[in-house]
Structure formats: C-alpha cells, structure tokens
Amino acid sequence: MALTRRNVGMVVAPLLALLVWTVTPALAYEARMVATIMSFCLVFWMAEVIPLSMTAFLGVLLAVMLGVAEMETAFQNLGHPIILLFIGSFLLARSMTRHGLDKRIALFILSRRFFQKSLFRMFLGFSGISFLLSMWVSNSVTVAMLLPLTLGVTQLVCQPEDGKNSALYFLLGIAYSASIGGIGTIIGSPPNLIGVNYLAQQGIRIDFLQWMYLALPIAVSMYVVMLLYMRYFLGKSGYDPQAVKAYVAERQQQKERLRKGEQVTMAVFILAVILWLAPGIFNLMGMEEAYTFMNTYFAESTVAVLAALLLFLIPPGQETGGRGTLTAEDLVKIDWDTILLFGGGMALGQLVISSGLADVIGRSITALLDPDQRVLLVFVLVLLVLLLTEISSNTAIAITFVPIIIGVLNGLNLPLLYPVLGVVIACSFAFMLPIATPPNAIVYGSKLVPIGQMARAGMFLNLVGAVLITAWVILYMSLVG
C-alpha cells in the first residue's frame, strides 16, 4: 500500500480514536464517545480520506449507531438557516459568473492604476472590500460574492507557473479578511450578538458604537498582521504589470454594453445588499421597531433565498430562451459539497454541546487557572475557545462557553466585560479548517485551497490572533483598573 496522506489518515484515525477512548475513562459515556468520534473525524478531515462533507456525515452517523444521538434529530442542522444562506448566496454568485458580471467587475478593478502596480495591491483591494463588507453583511455572503471575482482576477493576472499558489493565498486572504472584519460590529457575526446578550443578563449593556469602539482596534490590528503575512507569500509570485495593462486595454476596446442578464443580476444583488444592510442602518439610527421587523421578516437567510428565487423568476430577455436569469441547470453547478460539509459540521458541533463534552473541557481548563495571573488566564481562555471553534460551530461554542466563562470569572471576582469580549472575538478567529467558519468552507469549495495549506497558514494566524486578543483585553482591563 502506497504511503499517501489518505492511507496514513486511514491508519492514524482509528488509532487516535482508540487512544482518546482509553485516556478518558472518567468522562460520561456520551462525552467520551463524542470525543472519540471527533478525534477520528479530525484526522479524516486533515488527511482528506473521503470528501469533507462525507466525513461530517460519517461522524454524525457513528454517533447515531453508538447511541449518543437520535436519528430523528441528528441531522436537523441540514435545515439550519445558514444552509439556506449558503444556497442563496451561491446561486447569486452563480448568476454573476454565468452572465459575466464578475468578469466586468474584475476588469473595472484591474483598470485602476493603483491596483495595477503589484499583485499585493490587487490583493489589498479585494481583501479590503471583504473586511469592510463583512462588518455589515454576513461573512459567508461576503465571501460567496467575492469568490468568482477573485478567481477571475487570479486567472487573469497570475503567471501560469505560480498562478495556483497566488490564487491559494488570494482566496485565503479573502476568507480571513471576512472573518476578521465580522468582529467589528455587533451584527457582523452571530457570536457577537450572543456575547452582548449574555453580558446584558449580567447587567452589562453594550450599545452598537461601544462595541465598535472596543472591537475595531482588535479587528484592524489583526487585519494588518494578515496583510503582512499574505504579502510575504504573494511577493514570491510572478507578476507582469505590462501584461495586465495590455489585457485591460484590449478588453476595454471589446467591452460590450451591459446585457440584460447582467442588469438583472446586478439589480437583484443590489436589492439583497440593501436588505442585508437595512437592519444595521436602522439599529444605528435607533429605530428599534424597524430593526426588529427586518430581523424577523427579512433575516439574512430569507433575503438570500428571495434573491435566488427572483433570479429564477425574472427573464433576461432572449438570452435564456425566455426562461429565468438562472435555470434548473444552474442548481447542479453550485457547490453542494461545501453546503453539506457545513451542515454536517454543525451537527457534529451540536453533539459536542449536547453530550456535555464542551462543558467538561471548559470547566477542566478554567479550574487550573490562577486568578492573579490575568494574562495567562485570558490567553488560555481565548486560545481554548479559538481551537474549539476549529472543529465546531462558532455560534455553538459561543452559546456554550460564554456562560461557563462568565461563571468562572464571577467565581474569581474578576471583571466580566473585557475577558468575555475577548472570548467572543476568538470565536471568529478560526483560520485552520474548512469546517471552522463559513468563509473557510466557501474558499475550500473552490478546489484551489488544499486543506493542509489552509491548516499551515491558519495555525500561525490562530496563534497571533490569540496573542493580539489577549494584549487588547489586558490593555482594556488595565485602563479601567
């Protein structure tokens, strides 16, 4: 048998699972079994033994067969609103690709002199858009919208011998920028809202602007680190600005007027963005009733599905024979593997919570910490949550660990606001695995980002993120005494 990563994974996975089962006899059966299954799945994910989505399904199926989950409820997360958000945003991105709108926007960006000067400047433009948009729009929607544009640009400007490497770091940068930008506002990421709600139950209220005041410095500093990190890799890639200028000049001469398919896609896209941004605008303006109405009736998932349905309903003239801007053929061309991966991953994350494993891990770690060593305490809590988020839903981890950590901090007579802020932000700083965050899953679905390289690039940013969050939290705590 050849010594391939896949074959190594098939051997290591059951051995690691057996080891975990052997060293955890003190755990309840459900928690012990879920820990064993998760260790098995982690190796399968890292080694890509089978498609990642099927590994997630295998983990849930094992949980059912071993008596720690019920078949009726084990796969409920496949109907989770975020899955609908995935489907709707993927179809929106598909329409942009089908009708050439992504290439038109890519050409517009390429034609700007500032971005033409280097590959890194081009990356700066795309990652900056991802960072800013994700503060107001779901990070998964942001990345799904930018994915076809990013792919188009890298195919145009990267030289063949190293184009794949450039595309890899372009895509990782877009995903990481969205995750980082999402911490900048309360509505940028679900864990933010969860943390604010838990703090409100403790009598600590944070308004929209106060959150931005505290979280934006962390987001900006992490984004700068990510830019410098990606610049190191992109600097190794070949880039010919003259070729780009020649390409732009040629294409601009051939540029057609906006076709009806592009017009419909752009109109639906703008409508979706307005509806996604509306709750945040109403919240900033203090219009609580309008904010509640939009969140109730026009949630992100609802808007994504509505946009997709409009694309199927509205015909773009004769371009599709009188049919819709999207047709039935487009349904099979979106990335169902990524959609199933995240659904299965959330199902596994729910098992980590329902089995009590997350609670055991949280209490075991925090019980070992000395309240007088604030730096170490905050760093361990942040790193723990950050690593757990790699193998589970960040929303699920926030729901589970924030109340645990609030209880620990209260028991140690430590202030709540800043450590809880750090832990909540850490929920969005998982950069290593496709299942960790929707942006990671989406760029993995491009088939240009091997999981091994994502893990290697993400490990460095995970550690830097933990250090940065800790530094800011300790600074905030020192400023208030």
Q: Tell me the C-alpha distance between 100 and 97, whole Å.
A: 5
Q: Does residue 35 lie in a domain region?
A: yes
Residues contacting residue 286 through CB under 8 Å, at least 6 positions apart? none
pLDDT of residue 163: 46
Q: Does residue 433 lie in a domain region?
A: no
Residues 120, 246 within the same domain: yes
Q: Tell me the C-alpha distance between 162 and 237, whole Å.
A: 6
Residues 260, 199 within the same domain: yes
Q: Does residue 444 lie in a domain region?
A: no
Q: Tell me the C-alpha distance between 444 and 427, whole Å.
A: 20
Q: What is the mean pLDDT of residues 182-200?
A: 80
| Angle made by CA atoms 95, 84, 73, in degrees to the nearest 5 | 155
Statement: residue 279 has pLDDT above 50: yes
Residues 66, 93 within the same domain: no
Residues 106, 37 within the same domain: no
DSSP state of 432: S
Asked whether the beta carbons of 182 and 189 are under 8 A apart, the reply is: yes
Q: Per mean pLDDT, which range of 23-27, 116-120, 156-160, 383-387 is the poorest?
A: 156-160
Residues 327, 219 within the same domain: yes
Residues in the chain, total: 481
Q: Does residue 449 lie in a domain region?
A: no
**Cα four-point dihedral sign 13, 15, 17, 23:** negative
pLDDT of residue 19: 95
In the listed set 24, 50, 71, which residue is the last one of a domain according to the structure? 71
Q: Does residue 344 lie in a domain region?
A: no
Asked whether the beta carbons of 262 and 95 are under 8 A apart, the reply is: no
Q: What is the mean pLDDT of residues 219-242?
A: 82
Going by pLDDT thresholds of 50, 70 and 90, the confidence category of residue 306 is very high
DSSP state of 311: H
In the listed set 331, 356, 388, which residue is the last one of a domain according to the structure? 331
Statement: residue 261 has pLDDT above 70: yes
Residues 153, 256 within the same domain: yes
Nearest to 235 by CA among 152, 162, 131: 162
**Which has more confidence, 10 or 438?**
10
Q: Tell me the C-alpha distance between 309 and 187, whole Å.
A: 25
In the listed set 71, 99, 122, which residue is the last one of a domain according to the structure? 71
Q: Does residue 391 lie in a domain region?
A: no
How many Å separate Cα 312 from the centre of its chain?
A: 27
**Which has more confidence, 342 or 27?**
27
Residues 31, 97 within the same domain: no
Q: Tell me the C-alpha distance between 233 and 236, whole Å.
A: 6
- Domain of residue 22: give its range: 1-71
Most distant pair of Cα atoms in the chain: their distance: 72
Statement: residue 127 has pLDDT above 60: yes
Number of domains in the chain: 2
Percent with pLDDT over 70 in the chain: 86
**Coil, strand or helix: which one is 120?**
helix
Q: Does residue 179 lie in a domain region?
A: yes
| Angle made by CA atoms 418, 421, 424, in degrees to the nearest 5 | 155
Residues 125, 264 within the same domain: yes
Residues 134, 208 within the same domain: yes
Residues 150, 180 within the same domain: yes
**Coil, strand or helix: which one is 70?**
coil
Residues 50, 144 within the same domain: no
Q: For the chain, how far is it from start to end, CA to CA, in angstroms? A: 62
Angle at which helix 260-284 crosses helix 101-110, to 10 degrees, equals 70
For the ranges 134-138, 219-223, 393-397, the maximum mean pLDDT occurs at: 219-223
Residues 2, 142 within the same domain: no
Burial class, 373, CB count within 10 angstroms (exposed 0-12 / middle 13-18 / buried 19+): exposed
Bridge partner residues of 158 (DSSP): 239
Going by pLDDT thresholds of 50, 70 and 90, the confidence category of residue 6 is confident
Average pLDDT of the chain? 81
Residue given tokens 């410098």 in the structure block: 228
Q: Does residue 357 lie in a domain region?
A: no
